[in-house]
Amino acid sequence: MLGRLEHERFRTELRGPQSTMTTHAEFDPERFVITNVKVYREIALEAAAVAESALLPRHGPIPLEGSAFESYVEPGQQSFKSGMIAIVFAGMYVEARLWLAGIEALGEQAYARIDRQPLEQRPEAIGVRHANLREALQRFREARKDLVHEKALPRPRDTRPVQTAQEGAARAKKLIELFDTVFAAPDAL
């Protein structure tokens, strides 16, 4: 067990003098976890904000010939790129939060088996129940799969609903906000 001086030196070396890591004299190395979960959350929320702001009404619709769909002119496709970043990092955040909650509730070996289940099944498997969580996780998982693992087909043969990165980013932001209410606040990590 680390004494107070060793703990303070360790905290300073690891996180810097302004660390939010616990400063209790009793430091339990068995429960100490280094995680990037807060950073994943920040990146996802920042990218979602950029995706949303890049689509403000400064771009005009352009009808595509022979189609009911519209396209928006956006130089550099910044909202698409930011939307994809938001989706990917929101997924990393959700996976990391579920992992931390799962190993806390069940232990690493027991949760490792649950970790292979679809996202929407994991919270209930660790005892977390919320009216909207399962549906939100399922929609997010499906949208992320469609956007991140694109399987493009000619439009007449592709009957799936069109998923946009910008809509996915908005859903990712809402999912993060839902996680913040269902699980401990991010500052508690």
Residue that is written with structure tokens 């009808």 in the block: 63
Interval 122-138 mean pLDDT: 94
The CA distance from 24 to 101, in Å, is: 22
Quote the DSSP letter at residue 18.
Answer: T
pLDDT at 56 (0 to 100): 61
Query: 163 pLDDT exceeds 90?
Result: no
15 CB-side CA count, 13 A: 14
Q: Higher pLDDT residue, 67 or 125?
A: 125
Q: Is the pLDDT of residue 70 over 80?
A: no
Question: What is the spatial distance between Cα 82 and Cα 46, in angstroms, rounded to a whole number?
Answer: 9
Query: 79-101, pLDDT tens digit by residue?
Result: 889 999 999 999 999 999 999 99
pTM (2 d.p.): 0.74
Lowest mean pLDDT, pick from 32-36, 73-77, 98-102: 73-77
Please tell me the predicted confidence (pLDDT) of residue 12.
43
CB 16 within 8 A of CB 167: no
pLDDT over 70 for what percent of the chain? 72
How is residue 105 written in tokens?
């509730």
Q: Whole-angstrom Cα distance, residue 162 to residue 22?
A: 46
Sorting pLDDT into bands at 50, 70 and 90, what band is 159? confident
Which of 59, 96, 98 shows the shortest CA–CA distance to 77?
A: 59
Q: Which helix (H) or strand (E) holds 97?
A: helix 78-106
Query: d(Cα 41, Cα 86) in Å, to the nearest integer?
Result: 9
Question: What rounded mean pLDDT belongs to the chain?
Answer: 79
Kindly report the number of other CB atoms within 10 A of residue 38's CB atom: 14
Q: Where are the domains of the chain?
A: 1-32, 35-188
Between these two residues, 32 and 50, which has the higher pLDDT value?
Answer: 50
